[in-house]
Amino acid sequence: KVREMELVKQRQQQQEEEERKMKEEQKREEEKKKEEVNDTTEDDLLDDFFNEVEETNTTTTTATPEPTTTTPEPAAPQSNNISKQLTKLGTPLSQINRLLPPNYEWKNLNPFYVLDIPHTAPLDIISRRYKALSLLIHPDKCAEKRAKEAFEQVRIAMTLLKEEEKRKHVHDLIEQGQKQGTRDYQVSRTSTTTPTLLSKEEEEKQLQSFQEKAIMKVFATIEQKRRDVERRKRAQEKRERDQEEEEKNKVKKEMEFHKRWREGDRVDRRVGSWRDFQGGDGDKKKKKSRWS
C-alpha cells in the first residue's frame, strides 16, 4: 500500500509539472507575440519615416538655418539677442507644428534640427536659442494643447547639446551625413542621361535637400541599432528571469512533494502501528480466554 501511494503521488506530481510547463509555455508564446507586435509597429514607423525622407528629395521641410557670419556684430545685451530670435521663430503654433510633425520621434533625433540652428553654432548661441524657444512654447507660457510635448523635445535637445562630448558626437554625425548627401547628390546628377539645367541657387537647394535627407538617415539608423540592442537585452533578461523562476518552481514542487510524502508516511506508520496494536491486543484476549 505504501508503494502504491508513492506511485500515485509521483503521477500526481508529474501531471502537475506538465500542466505548469504548458501554462508557462503558453505565457511565453503570448509574450513573444506581444513583443513581435511591438517590434513590427516600431519597424513600420521607421519604414514610414524613411519613405517620407525619400519623398522629400527636392523639398526641404525645415526652415533655412541661420547663416553663420565671420563679420562680428555689434555687442548687444543678451535680452536683445533673444528678442531677435523670438522674432525669427515666429508664432508658438508654427514652432509646435515644426517640432511635432508625423514621425517627429525620428526627425527630432538631431538636436540641432530641434533647435533649428546650424550644427557649427557655439554653446552660447545654443543656450540663447533654447531660452527663446522656452519663452515661446513653454507650457507655463503657451496655451496651445501640444505645447508641453513640443517643449519636451526642446528640453531633450538642450540636455544633449550642453555636454561637450555629446555635442561633438552629434556634430560628427551631421558631418558624416552631409558628406553622404553630397555623394548621393553627385550620383543622382551623373546617373541622369539628360540632367536638368539648374541655376546655382537651385543646385545649392537640391544639394541641401540631399544632405538633410542623409543626416536624418544617419541618426535614424543609429537609433534603430540602439533599439535593437535594447530589445535583445530585454529578451535575454526575460529568458534569465524565466529560467530563474522555473528553477524556483521546481525546488518548490520538490519541497511540497517531500512534505506530502513525509505527512503520508507518518499517517501510514500511525495506521500500521494502530493495526499492530489492535492485532496484538486481540492475541492477548485469545490467550487470556484460552487460559481462563
* Successive 10-residue mean pLDDT values, the chain, 292 residues: 69 79 78 64 57 51 38 43 84 96 92 96 94 94 94 96 95 96 91 76 92 94 90 89 85 78 62 58 53 51
Is pTM beyond 0.85? Reply is no
Q: Which long-range contacts does 260-269 make (Cβ < 8 Å, 24+ apart)?
A: 260/9, 261/6, 261/9, 264/5, 264/9, 265/2, 268/1, 268/2, 268/5
Neighbours of 205 (CB within 10 A): 15
Give the per-residue pLDDT at 57.
Answer: 45
- pLDDT computed for residue 273 by the predictor: 60
What is the per-residue pLDDT for 148? 96
215/56 Cα distance (integer angstroms): 13
pLDDT for 12: 78
| Predicted local confidence at residue 112, as pLDDT | 97
Distances from the Cα of 44 to the Cα of 31, 41, 229, angstroms: 20, 5, 18
pLDDT value at position 61?
A: 37
Cβ partners under 8 Å of residue 35, min gap 6: 231, 235
pLDDT at res. 28: 74
